[in-house]
Amino acid sequence: MEFHTAGVIGGGAWGTALAQSAAAAGLAVVLQAREPEVIESIRARRMNDAFLPGVELDSAINVTSDLADLADCDLILAVPPAQHMRATLQAFAPYARPGLPIILCSKGIERGSLKLMTDVLAETIPSATAAVLSGPSFAAEVARGLPSAVTLACADAAMAEALAGALSGPVFRPYYADDLIGAETGGALKNVLAIACGIVEGRELGRSAHAAVITRGYAEIVRVATALGGKAETVAGLCGVGDLVLTCSSPQSRNMSLGLALGQGLSVEQALEGKRSVAEGYESAPAVRELTRKLGVDTPICEATAAVLAGELTVDQAIESLMSRPLKPERE
């Protein structure tokens, strides 16, 4: 199984970073972007000034607005915002040949349907070979060539290994796995939990509270992943614990920075004002809450965060509701 060309759908920060990483791995890359200014700046200056300023892009990256230009690529990295994944895949479907590996790189749960991104792919391009890439990786760091490691999950073990080999480079290390549900669940919930951690930081509640949110938040991820059919050991890896620790520990995270602003007293509208990049946790929080209720899984931190984002609770009310819950065994 050999891969020589990669198509990247989505010219935001993460899509551009993955294009840069794939080029560093030796692949010829076609990056599809919707925004004319992104295409113009990459063609003119080899930079994505709108979403990833200051990073000179590899000459092996060609940019286009037309999804048809990705038809001949050996693999696809799908990187639109999670809530736009369905429409994006529907638009690409006419150009996807049977068996084409499509690696889903967006983290979230679809609002309305409550579907994971692999479910969305199965419904839009059922003939594709689905894979998931997830893990602790800030776009700016990956694009600048700093070391990072991620999970690459595919039900076909041989394909997972082949894709990991194709995308690995001197400083980008994918570990392959076969549990797509576990890989996706970690990524979807950690964005909501990062908002909670940001609120803790913004309210200056201390490092102890920060550690407690990460730890109890991880317990919520495990409960949801296993309820959906994923494996606890998957979310104990890079796509769960790794991503959770990174996203909950740095204001570089769009989700944590949103929570930070809320904790400092800004409204949701004020915190989001002027932001061009999407905070996936904000978009996914209502779906996470609805899904966990449907599953009958207890996720108090995700619940409280969703309530704050929806304007149903103030930050202080959310904190009080969490701290006044009945005591229970830690393993529950």
Question: Residue 237's pLDDT is what?
Answer: 97
Under DSSP, is residue 70 helix (H, G, I), strand (E, B) or coil? helix
pTM attached to this predicted model: 0.96
| Domain ranges within the chain, ordered by starting residue | 5-178, 181-323
Sheet holding 28-32, edge to edge: 61-64, 28-32, 5-9, 75-78, 101-104, 129-134, 148-154, 172-177
Residues that are catalytic: 190
- In a 13 Å sphere around the CA of 162, the CA atoms on its Cβ side amount to 14
CATH number of 181-323: 1.10.1040.10
Please state the CATH superfamily assignment of the domain spanning residues 5-178 in this structure. NAD(P)-binding Rossmann-like Domain (3.40.50.720)
Please tell me the distance from the alpha carbon of residue 57 to that of residue 50, in angstroms, as a whole number.
Answer: 13
Task: Give me the residues of the chain with pLDDT under 50, please.
Answer: none
Please tell me the distance from the alpha carbon of residue 278 to that of residue 182, in angstroms, as a whole number.
Answer: 23
Residue 43: name the closest of 28, 65, 27, 22 by CA.
Answer: 65
